[in-house]
Amino acid sequence: MRHRVVLIPGDGIGPEVAKAAQRVTDATDVAIEWDVRAAGASVMEREGTPLPDDVLHAVRETRTALKGPITTPVGTGFRSVNVALRQDLDLFAAVRPARHYPGVPTRHPGVDLVTIRENTEDLYQGIEFERGSARTEELRDALVRLAGYRIPDDAGVTLKPISVSGTRRIVRFALDYARRNGRKRVTLGHKANIMRFSDGVFVNTARQIDRDEYPDIDIEEMQVDQLAMTLVQEPETLEVLLLPNLYGDIISDVAAGLTGGLGLAAGANLGWEYAVFEPVHGSAPDIAGRGIANPLAMILTAALMLGHLGEHDAADRAERAVANLLEEGATLTPDMGGTATTDEVAVALVGRLRGEGSP
């Protein structure tokens, strides 16, 4: 079966790592028809927008995209492309595996966890009141009436909505993910003792869905500060983390750092209908165009995509090729202590997948 996938190379090192990922994916012999679309700073001038309509249409058609990093335009009045994709395609779940591969320096060998982060609500919803503005003044007055509390007149405010409906879908998504991937325990991070009416909704909704619909999976509730400590002390005990937006953003970076950092961190933004796979790292303008970007995060991201397309064997082979390369340690880019170029890493992986060189 032939899969159609939109490839958005992106900005900075994006095209370099995207090309490497495309070559390695093709070397798995899964038939993919790549629909390459430009988005980001590179098309701003020509198209007048960093996210031309044809890109969104193409993703709606294929339902799956592999995306390189995109430079967030500052002060142009445009939404970040990443935020626009997330909102327009309703990609409510951010999924980031953090697995340790032998050969990568770490204090914690054996880590193999996945962070699932709610992607649309919480403090990131963008409901903000600027310090000193008339709207904030109105809010202050309303809060005196509604909550009997006057916030200081020099305060700025960001609101934290967490809904039952928004929580339901991320909880079901996480529990389905655990079930599909043979994981028995999902650790839910929260601070419901302090934020009773936002994190409280998250915890109570999850508890009920778990009890009623997923008796085979345990949800372990953990305060997010304790979760942070567990992550640095015994991360190998964690399987799947389920977190509201802000905690998820922070905790998933800690998990990535524990297992090798930006050069290896793969990710996906998923909804019920569409899937956009992208590495965690940005466009790295400091090294763009030099041919030394580490393509492994993008390649592991492509492997996640293969799994999503049902090509589990190809996904496993691509990941094993990366693991093998890391263990051998001979063909790595400078960020991982090696001297190889992006292309050399891609060639080494293609060779492994085609059965030349090391198994």
Catalytic residues: 124, 191, 225, 249
Q: Binding to ligand NAD by residue 246, rule CB under 6 A?
A: no
Strands (E), the chain: 3-8, 32-36, 64-67, 93-99, 112-118, 128-129, 157-158, 185-190, 218-223, 240-243, 268-270, 275-277
Q: Which residue type does 118 have? A: E
Pair 3, 32: CB distance under 8 Å: yes
Spatial separation of the C-alpha atoms in residues 202 and 186, rounded to whole Å: 14
Q: Binding to ligand NAD by residue 15, rule CB under 6 A?
A: no
Q: Binding to ligand NAD by residue 294, rule CB under 6 A?
A: yes
Q: Binding to ligand NAD by residue 340, rule CB under 6 A?
A: no
Cβ nearer to ligand NAD, comparing 287 with 315: 287
Rounded to a whole number of angstroms, the minimum distance from the CB of residue 272 to ligand NAD is: 21
Angle between helices 342-353 and 14-26 (to 10 degrees): 10
Stretch that binds ligand NAD, among 65-73, 94-102, 181-189, 268-276 (CB under 6 A): 65-73
First to last CA, the chain: 26
Pair 5, 66: CB distance under 8 Å: yes
In the set 24, 58, 66, 70, which binds ligand NAD (CB under 6 A)?
A: 70
The 316-335 contact track toward ligand NAD, x by CB under 6 A, reads: -------------------x
Pair 212, 188: CB distance under 8 Å: no
Rounded to a whole number of angstroms, the minimum distance from the CB of residue 41 to ligand NAD is: 8
User: How many CA atoms does the CB half-sphere of 357 hold within 13 Å?
Assistant: 14
Rounded to a whole number of angstroms, the minimum distance from the CB of residue 39 to ligand NAD is: 10
Residue 264's SS3 state is helix
Cβ nearer to ligand NAD, comparing 242 with 284: 284
Pair 251, 243: CB distance under 8 Å: yes
In the set 25, 42, 71, 187, which binds ligand NAD (CB under 6 A)?
A: 71
Q: Binding to ligand NAD by residue 344, rule CB under 6 A?
A: no
Stretch that binds ligand NAD, among 70-78, 127-135, 143-151, 247-255 (CB under 6 A): 70-78
Rounded to a whole number of angstroms, the minimum distance from the CB of residue 56 to ligand NAD is: 16
Q: Which two tokens stand for residue 355?
A: 């059965």
Rounded to a whole number of angstroms, the minimum distance from the CB of residue 333 to ligand NAD is: 6
How many residues touch ligand NAD (CB under 6 A)?
21
Spatial separation of the C-alpha atoms in residues 6 and 276, rounded to whole Å: 9
Interface with ligand NAD by CB under 6 A: which residues? 13, 17, 69-72, 82, 262-263, 278, 281-287, 293-294, 297, 335
